[in-house]
Structure 1
C-alpha cells in the first residue's frame, strides 16, 4: 500500500495534492467500499490537525454561536450513522475528454464514486443548538486544507442550502466503516452530504456558518460550476454558469471491465446506479448491442437517500467484439442522456451519459 493506506492498483492522478481512484472492478459487488479502495479528491496538501486542540466554530446567522471540541460533540449530541455514496463532480471525465480535450483537469475515470458508513452527529442537531436566525438560507463550511488554486490561496470551503442541511442524513462525521475517520478523508471531522457532489462534503472541518447567500469561497463561487457555451475557465468569474449541488442521475458498469476478454455466451454484467438528493433510481436498462435492444436489470431497492443502488443482469454475447451499454431512469421519470457530446463543458463536470464498456467475447457460443 502507498503512504495513505490505499491499494497498490489505485489510479493516482496527482500525488500532491493526493488524487486517486480505484479500478472500476474494485467497486463491484459490494454495498460499502473498503477504506483502502475509497477514492480520494483533494485540492491542497493534506492537513495534520491535532485532535486534542482542534475546535469547531458554529457562527453567522445564529442566536447562540458555538465553540466545540471533539469531546463536546460526543457528549452534547446523539451519535448516529449514515451509509452514503460520495461522487466527485469530475467522475467519468474521461468520456468528456474523448469528445474534446479539457486541459488542466485530471482524467478521472469511473472510480471517483465510493460508498461508506459514516458515524458522527447530525448537522441539524448543531444548528438547532445554535438557533438559526431568520434569513439563514445557506450553511457554509470551511476546512483546514489550503488550496493554491485561488489567487491568493485560501482554505477549501463550500455551502449547501439550509433545507438540505436540516435533513437527517447530513452528518458531521468522525468515523468511516466503523473505524476512526482516516486523515486522508478529513479527520478529525468532515461533512457528509449524501446526494450532493462530493465537493460539498468538506473535510478537515473547522467552521460552520449560517448565511443569507451561498458561500463566497472560491470552490463554491468560481469552481464546481458548469460554464456557459463558449466560456473558458480563464474567462469565467464568480457566479458564472450553474453551481453544482445535487448529483445528476448516473449509473455505471463495474463488471466486466472496459477492454476485458470474456467467454462467449452467458455473461454476468453488474454495476451501480445513483440518483442525487431525494430521488431514487427506478430502472436500469442494459444492452449488448450498443443500444439497439435492451434488457431490464435486477435493481436493488433504495435504502437511504444518497446511497447507490446495485444492479445485475446476464447478457448472451456472441463471439467477437461487443459494446455493453447501461442507462438509468429515476423516480421523476428522467433518463440519462445518450451521448457525452451534449454534456461537454470546459471543466468536465457531471458526465452522466450512458455507461459503455467494450469487451471481446471469445470461444464457442453455447445456446440454450
Structure 2
C-alpha cells in the first residue's frame, strides 16, 4: 500500500539519520578523547617533573669487604659491583650456612653453580641488603704480569681451599664434598705440579712411541673419530689426601691436604687399549710399562711424567681412558685439556694431564714423580736414610673413608636427640666398599651407615663387576645422641670387598712424605644443652 510503503521509508530514513549521527558523535568523542590525551602528554612533556632521589652508597674496597667474613664481624658479599650486608639473611638462607663460603667475596662464582639464583625475586631480595659500591679499581681485574709463568692459569672457584697458588693446588670445602655424587668440575680438587699449559686443540698432536708400527701421532679429531667413545665414572684421589693428620704426628714435607683431595667424575674418551692396539700392540710385544708425558713443563723444559704397568693399560677390564670429556663437557684447563689419562683405581699422580706422549717401555718413567716421589716408607725412615729405589711407586691406593659433616668443633643441640653424619668411602684397585662403620664414642660402639652409589633421589646404581668399582660411595647415618655426653668423638672406617679395613691410628702409618694417610677419620663435636 502506498501509504504504508511511504511510512516505512520515512521510518527507515529517520533510523539511518540517528545511526549516522551516533556514529559521527562516537567518532567525535573518540577523536576528542585522543586529542585530549595527546594534549595532556604534550603538556606533561614540557612540564618539569620532580626528580626521584637515587640513593647514594659509600664506596668500599675489596680489602674492606674481605674483613666481613663471619657473623660476628658481619657477612658482606659483592655482586655486579654492589656491596651487600647479608648477615641477617644467613639464618634464613634456603641453602643453609653454605652461603658463608662467599663471605667477604663475590657471589657470582657461587650463583653460577646454582641456576636457581638467576631469578628476579632473588635479585629483589638481595637488593634490600645493599650497603655500598665496590671501588672501580677492585671491580676491574688487575692484569697479571706477563713474566709470570702462571699468568695464563685459568680462573678458579673462590670456595676452593688453597694449599698453594703457584703451582695451584686446592680442595673443595669438605662440608660440601658429599653433596653431589658426581663432583662439579669447578669443585673437583686441583692438583698441579707445574704451570697450566695453553694447548691449541686444532694443532694438538698425541705422540705414540715404542710400538711395532713405529712412531706415530694422533690429532684430537682423530682420537675422537677413529676410536669408540667410552664412559667411566671414576674417583681420583691424591696420594697426599689427609696429609694434615700425618703432620699432627710429626711434620712432613708436602702440601697440607685436608680430607678433600679426592673427587668423583664421569670421564669420556678413547680407551688406551684401543689406541695401543692401533699402534701395533699385541700379546708378546716387548714392554712392561706404559709411560705418559704431559705438556706442562718447568723453566728448564722438564715435563711431568708417570707410568703404569702394561697389564693395567691393555686390560679390557682396566678401563684406562684417554679422556677428552669430564662430566659431559670438554676437559677444563685445570684437568688436562684437551686430553688426559684416567687410570681408574690408581693414585691421581699416574693420571697424567695435558697428555703429549705415550711410550711402551721396559722401564718405568724416569720422571722425578715416578722415581723419587709418591712412594711409601716405614715410620723409621727419615730424609737422611731414605732410599727411594727401595720402595715401589704407588699405583693402587688403600681403602679410605672420611667424615664430611659435621665439621670438627661444630655444635649439636641436645634437643635434637640425634645427629646425622655424612661422608665418602673408596678403595683402590677396583675393590668395592661394602661397609662403613660409624662410632659416636671413639670406637667403643658402632653404627652401620647407609651407602649410596648415585645422586639422591635416583634409582640405586647396579653393583659394578668385581674388580671394577672405580667410583666412591657416599654414606650417611643418623644416630641417637649418647645420654649425658658433652662431646662426641665421631669415627668412621670403611671395609672393601677384599675385607681390607682402615688402621685405627695415624702414628703406625706415618711416613716422611705423608702419603697413604687412611687411618680412622675422627671428628670431635660439642653437645649443647641449650
TM-score norm. by structure 2 comes to 0.65
The separation in 2 between residues aligned to 1:126 and 1:269, in whole angstroms, is 44
- Partner SS for 2:180: coil
Which residue of 62, 65, 68 corresponds with 2:215?
65
- Partner SS for 1:84: strand
The answer to whether residue 427 in structure 2 is matched with residue 278 in structure 1 is no
Q: By how many angstroms is 1:238 displaced? A: 4.8
The answer to whether residue 289 in structure 2 is matched with residue 125 in structure 1 is no
Match of 1:339 in 2: 505
Match of 1:329 in 2: 495
The separation in 2 between residues aligned to 1:308 and 1:134, in whole angstroms, is 35
Match of 1:106 in 2: 255
Contact 2:375 2:388 in 1 (8 A): no
The answer to whether residue 193 in structure 2 is matched with residue 43 in structure 1 is yes
Of stretches 302-311 and 65-74 in structure 1, the one that deviates more from structure 2 is 302-311
Q: By how many angstroms is 1:338 displaced? A: 0.6
Contact 1:231 1:346 in 2 (8 A): yes
Match of 2:14 in 1: none
Which structure 2 residue ranges, 5 or more long, are not aligned? 1-108, 110-140, 142-152, 454-462
Which residue of 281, 286, 292 corresponds with 1:141?
292
The separation in 1 between residues aligned to 2:244 and 2:520, in whole angstroms, is 13
The separation in 1 between residues aligned to 2:379 and 2:507, in whole angstroms, is 13
Relative contact order, CA 8 A, sep 6+: which one is greater? Answer: 1
Q: What per-residue deviation string (whole Å, max 9, x for no partner) do you get for residues 74-112 of structure 1?
A: 111011211110000000001100100114x11100110
Q: By how many angstroms is 1:170 displaced? A: 1.0
Match of 1:357 in 2: 523
The answer to whether residue 219 in structure 2 is matched with residue 92 in structure 1 is no
The separation in 2 between residues aligned to 1:130 and 1:227, in whole angstroms, is 38
Q: By how many angstroms is 1:5 displaced? A: 4.3
Q: What per-residue deviation string (whole Å, max 9, x for no partner) do you get for residues 22-60 of structure 1?
A: 111121132100111110011111111111111101111
The separation in 1 between residues aligned to 2:180 and 2:258, in whole angstroms, is 19
Which structure 1 residue ranges, 5 or more long, are not aligned? none
Q: What per-residue deviation string (whole Å, max 9, x for no partner) do you get for residues 318-359 of structure 1?
A: 452111000011111221111110111000000010011111
- Partner SS for 2:404: strand
The separation in 1 between residues aligned to 2:352 and 2:376, in whole angstroms, is 20
- Partner SS for 2:352: coil
Contact 1:23 1:111 in 2 (8 A): yes
Match of 2:364 in 1: 214
Shift of the 153–230 alpha-carbon distance from structure 1 to 2, 3 Å rule, reads: farther
Shift of the 229–270 alpha-carbon distance from structure 1 to 2, 3 Å rule, reads: closer
Contact 2:211 2:279 in 1 (8 A): no
Shift of the 309–246 alpha-carbon distance from structure 1 to 2, 3 Å rule, reads: same
Note the 1:245-264 alignment, pairs <5 A: 245-264=395-414
The answer to whether residue 458 in structure 2 is matched with residue 300 in structure 1 is no
Q: By how many angstroms is 1:236 displaced? A: 4.1
Of stretches 37-46 and 255-264 in structure 1, the one that deviates more from structure 2 is 255-264
Q: By how many angstroms is 1:252 displaced? A: 0.9
Of stretches 111-120 and 23-32 in structure 1, the one that deviates more from structure 2 is 23-32
Contact 1:288 1:294 in 2 (8 A): yes
Equivalent pairs counted in the alignment come to 360
Structure 1 or 2: more strand by fraction: 1
Structure 1 or 2: more helix by fraction: 2
The separation in 1 between residues aligned to 2:342 and 2:423, in whole angstroms, is 23
Contact 1:22 1:39 in 2 (8 A): yes
Which residue of 450, 474, 478 corresponds with 1:314?
478
Match of 1:157 in 2: 305
TM-score norm. by structure 1 comes to 0.92
Q: By how many angstroms is 1:284 displaced? A: 0.8
The separation in 2 between residues aligned to 1:67 and 1:266, in whole angstroms, is 60
Of stretches 308-317 and 160-169 in structure 1, the one that deviates more from structure 2 is 160-169
Contact 1:158 1:219 in 2 (8 A): yes
Contact 2:379 2:508 in 1 (8 A): no
The separation in 1 between residues aligned to 2:491 and 2:266, in whole angstroms, is 30
Of stretches 337-346 and 273-282 in structure 1, the one that deviates more from structure 2 is 273-282
Q: By how many angstroms is 1:61 displaced? A: 3.9
The answer to whether residue 449 in structure 2 is matched with residue 288 in structure 1 is no
Match of 1:19 in 2: 169
Shift of the 173–233 alpha-carbon distance from structure 1 to 2, 3 Å rule, reads: farther
Q: By how many angstroms is 1:305 displaced? A: 2.7
